């Protein structure tokens, strides 16, 4: 599967760069003019960092549609991406052919329609395969990512497309006569995400499907804590391998096609992302704070009153416990890996601290995993009404 997908990624990129530049030149120039008029990072509606539209990256995407080296053949152009070879830039597989016909305004509209189509389809499947309340939590979680900005920015859309596609594929095949190979599933999701991702918030493509599976495993198989923890670990490693090895493959292809010097450029960037620099030293705790404030719609100089946040959470948890009552400890412990999965965004921030502290105004969306995991965990550990239990058994 790894070899097949790498071949598909490489060949698809090379094929779209066979499209003559003359076919797309006009629409590229008009689209760039529109985005330059809007500005590199316009804010819509909320006028907070949370709602910034990343026109800067979208303009890079459009500029990369036309190779900046006249002597490049399609393979070299598709690997170089205007001297930006460390990413796959898989969005070009759709963007370059569509630009033959459409300009950016029209593609934004089509992108928005596809986003909501896949979003509602995945939510409907969650309601059907789990519970309507889980689908409500899913919709609430995704909506907290400021969709007014997401649906008008190609940079933001691709990871959500991968997430929605992963959820749809997972739930369409879950519980059928042909069971999924779930470790292979997570490996492939990691690969596909790396192909399209521009290092935005890739962890949501692991966290949200994994949380759904952990919940369903307890419901369907009465899995205990060790069983679910081992499953969580294996799934996370599978996704991580798919994501990392797809990146490594791109670096290897770059060396073969463009030369060794590009490999060392990539290594220097990786070192910078992991260790920071004198001008931009790492502040791992500050990175988490920045991303939290962006998600909570707090202005950059604002202060989050942690004591009040913790108090509100504790009061709500107490009220729910008194009203609904908790399930037995064995069931509660089986759901604990969901809480561990909910911490993945903050582990990501600690590891990828440099990137996350600079680009916090969109990396904060990784915390959708934390919100979804927390809500699903609370729903799982509270006792259901007897009518709900009977309905689930009949289904």
User: Which sequence spans correspond to the domains of the chain?
Assistant: 108-394
Q: pLDDT at position 9, please? A: 97
Q: pLDDT at position 380, please? A: 87
Contact 162, 91 (CB under 8 A): no
Q: Which among 32, 30, 51, 29 has a CA at the least distance from the CA of 42?
A: 51
Contact 354, 273 (CB under 8 A): yes
Contacts by residues 121-126 (CB-CB < 8 Å, ≥ 24 positions apart): 121/164, 121/168, 122/163, 122/164, 122/167, 122/168, 122/171, 125/167, 125/168, 125/171, 125/172, 126/167, 126/171, 126/212
What backbone phi and psi angles, to 5 degrees, belong to 378?
Answer: -60, -45
The low-confidence residues of the chain, meaning pLDDT below 70, are 177, 222, 262-264, 266, 269-281, 299-313, 318-324, 326, 385-395
Contact 372, 339 (CB under 8 A): no
Alpha-carbon gap, residue 345 to 202, rounded angstroms: 10
pTM of the model: 0.90
Q: pLDDT at position 120, please? A: 97
Q: pLDDT at position 186, please? A: 97
Q: pLDDT at position 36, please? A: 94
Q: pLDDT at position 273, please? A: 65
Q: pLDDT at position 19, please? A: 94
């Amino acid at each position: 599967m790894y070899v097949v997908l790498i071949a598909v990624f490489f060949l698809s990129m090379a094929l779209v760069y066979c499209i003559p530049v003359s076919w797309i030149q006009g629409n590229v120039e008009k689209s760039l003019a529109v985005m330059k008029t809007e500005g590199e990072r316009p804010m819509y509606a909320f006028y907070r960092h949370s709602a910034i539209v990343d026109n800067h990256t979208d303009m890079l995407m459009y500029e990369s549609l036309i190779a900046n080296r006249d002597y490049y053949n399609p393979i070299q152009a598709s690997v170089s991406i205007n001297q930006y070879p460390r990413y796959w830039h898989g969005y070009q597989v759709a963007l370059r052919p569509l630009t033959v016909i459409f300009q950016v305004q029209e593609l934004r509209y089509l992108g928005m329609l596809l986003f909501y189509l896949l979003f509602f389809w995945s939510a409907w499947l969650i309601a059907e395969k789990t519970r309507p309340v889980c689908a409500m939590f899913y919709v609430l979680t995704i909506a907290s990512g400021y969709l007014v900005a997401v649906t008008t920015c190609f940079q933001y859309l691709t990871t959500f497309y991968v997430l929605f596609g992963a959820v749809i594929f997972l739930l369409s095949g879950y519980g059928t006569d042909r069971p999924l190979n779930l470790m292979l599933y997570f490996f492939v999701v990691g690969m596909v995400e790396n192909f399209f991702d521009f290092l935005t918030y890739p962890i949501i493509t692991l966290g949200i499907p994994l949380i759904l599976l952990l919940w369903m495993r307890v419901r369907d198989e009465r899995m205990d804590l060790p069983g679910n923890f081992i499953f969580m670990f294996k799934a996370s490693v599978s996704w991580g391998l798919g994501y990392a090895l797809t990146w490594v493959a791109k670096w290897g292809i770059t060396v073969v096609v463009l030369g060794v010097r590009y490999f060392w450029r990539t290594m220097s960037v990786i070192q910078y992302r992991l260790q920071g620099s004198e001008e931009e030293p790492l502040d791992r705790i500050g990175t988490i704070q920045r991303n939290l404030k962006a998600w909570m719609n707090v202005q950059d100089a604002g202060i989050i009153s942690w004591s009040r946040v913790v108090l509100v959470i504790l009061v709500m948890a107490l009220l729910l416990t008194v009203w609904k009552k908790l399930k037995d400890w064995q069931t509660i412990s089986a759901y604990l890996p969901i809480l561990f999965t909910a911490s993945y965004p903050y582990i990501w921030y600690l590891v990828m601290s440099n990137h996350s502290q600079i680009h916090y105004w969109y990396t904060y969306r990784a915390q959708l995993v934390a919100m979804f995991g927390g809500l699903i965990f609370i729903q799982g550990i509270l006792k259901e009404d007897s009518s709900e239990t009977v309905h689930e058994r009949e289904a």
